[in-house]
Amino acid sequence: MKQKKLESGAAPKVAPKRIVGFIVAVVLIALFALIPPFEGLTEPGMASIGVFLAAIVLFVCQVAPLAVSCLTLMVLLPYFNITTLNQIFADFGGTSFFFVFFCFGVTGALSNTTIPMRISAWITKVSKGNPKTLVFGFLFIATLMSGFLSNFGTLIMFYGIIYMFMKSAGLKPGESRLGKCLMIGLPFACGNGGFISPAGSPGNLIAQSLLQAQGVDVSFLQWFVMCLPFALIMCLLVSISLIVIFKPEAMPMEAQQAVFAEKDKLGPMEGKEKKAIVIIIVTILLWFAGTWVKALNTTVVAGCAFFLMFMPGVDLMDWKSYVREADWNLLMMVGSVAVTMGCVNSTGAMTWIADKFFSGLGGMGIYAVMLIVGFVVCYLRVLIPTAPSVAAIFVPIMIGIAQIVGTQYTLALAMIPVFWAGATITLLYTEPIYLYTHGAGYYSASDLFKGGLVPTLLMIVIVAFGFPTWFHLFGF
């Protein structure tokens, strides 16, 4: 029987977990604001713990859009004497907020060009239909591009092209093993690549601002050199896993010809594409140069690139296109999370939490601690819907744990949630980038879990032993 349509004016159904989440969040805030402070905590510190726990509940239960939850919690802070309203608005528009604002323009400008199509045609030509080369090629290119562009923007650029040649070749959803590998691998690569640089994900900027508050300042070049190897290792592990488990079939000649035909329709690269390439390459080089030239602040450089894209004679973007391309939910979240979680740290609440709940870790070696927290963060991450909220929740906790096991490990611990925020390849229904490709019907939730299980477990070990040792070589 066909499902009856809702009558006109009927209220849509509300998920029970949203209602429960809202009630629990309100109770937590009220409880921690009203009961006497625990020993070692001030009243503002006590209230900030309530806000922190409420944020976790709101994020996990998806009570409201992330930006709405964060902004609401942020403006409540003055009522509990945690901070002032003037200070909130001063901190909200920090460098992280504007850096993300400008970077959405860079991604949007590139997506308006034919460059992704040309890259796809090149990968197809080099692979000659070999499925292993195709899987490796697309995953590595998407990982590298996502390191400097938004994860979702990179996904959208490649998804349409991959879907087009799979349909042209008759690679049927649910049957094609090559389709399964590419549709699982593409969103993974776009999330995984976000770890490569501060520009790769808004969550990176949240982590960077929280670390700077602790006196841990990581330059763009340092971040890139330290994090690139781990993103590439994870990409290699997942590529091998997908190929071994699903054994993709060769790409039919019809599909290859379809890609080449689409590429030939483009003709020579236009001036628009050349301008986009020049601006993006120069922007990235200046970000790296900012390691030595302090005037080349990453946010200032991104702002200048953003400005150039709108200039007469360049015209890579117009304002309507930017408004359509930008993720305003994430943008608002970046500004508000930096304020809210910064207050949890400044009141001493996070140090108190770490001392009470993680003091037992102090007697362990750093590698054992990294293994334990790495496993916990990786698998708790599946409960949290987006990468920035993972950083917002777990980075302050990692900073608190570092106060117990040794502040020299602050960066190594803080980078665990930053890495797993994007590199997760476990459960489908809590990660929007997988839901995007899952809709094409090429893979199931169990396929995603099978393809990601072994790489995830191996990477937990690699991160645990690699982060402290590798980061130490760079003075962290």
Q: What is the pTM of this model?
A: 0.80
Using the predicted structure, report yes or no on whether residue 230 has a pLDDT greater than 90: yes
How far apart are alpha carbons 226 and 462 in whole angstroms?
Answer: 14
Whether 135 is in a domain gets the answer yes
Tell me, yes or no, whether 70 lies in a domain. no
In tens, the pLDDT along 113-161 reads 777 778 878 887 888 878 899 899 889 999 998 888 778 778 877 887 7
Domain assignment present for residue 350? The answer is: no
The listed range with the strongest mean pLDDT (105-114, 390-399, 461-470) is 461-470
Query: Per-residue pLDDT averaged across 259-271, rounded?
Result: 78
Q: Residue 416: inside a domain, yes or no?
A: no
Low-confidence winner among 132-141, 264-273, 408-417, 458-467 (lowest mean pLDDT)? 264-273
Whose structure tokens read 């930008």? Answer: 326
Residue 370 lies in a domain: no
What DSSP string describes 148-196? Answer: TS-HHHHHHHHHHHHHHHHHHTT--TTT-HHHHHHHHHHHHHHHHGGGS
Cβ atoms within 10 Å of 7's Cβ, excluding its own: 6
The verdict on residue 403 lying in a domain is no
Q: How many Cβ atoms from other residues are within 10 Å of residue 274's Cβ?
A: 12
CA distance 132 to 459: 21
Query: Domain total for the chain?
Result: 1
Hey, which bits of 247-355 come out as E strands?
Answer: none
297-320: per-residue pLDDT in tens?
Answer: 888 888 888 888 888 888 887 888
Residue 4 tokens read as: 């009856």
Mean local confidence (pLDDT), 175-196: 90
Domain that holds residue 192: 96-325
Contact 446, 184 (CB under 8 A): no
Among 132, 105, 51, 156, CA closest to 279: 105
| pLDDT score recorded for residue 140 | 93
429 φ, ψ (degrees, to nearest 5): -80, 0
d(CA 369, CA 82): 31
Q: How many CB atoms lie within 10 A of CB 128?
A: 12
Mean pLDDT score, 10-17: 67
Share of the chain above pLDDT 90, in %: 21
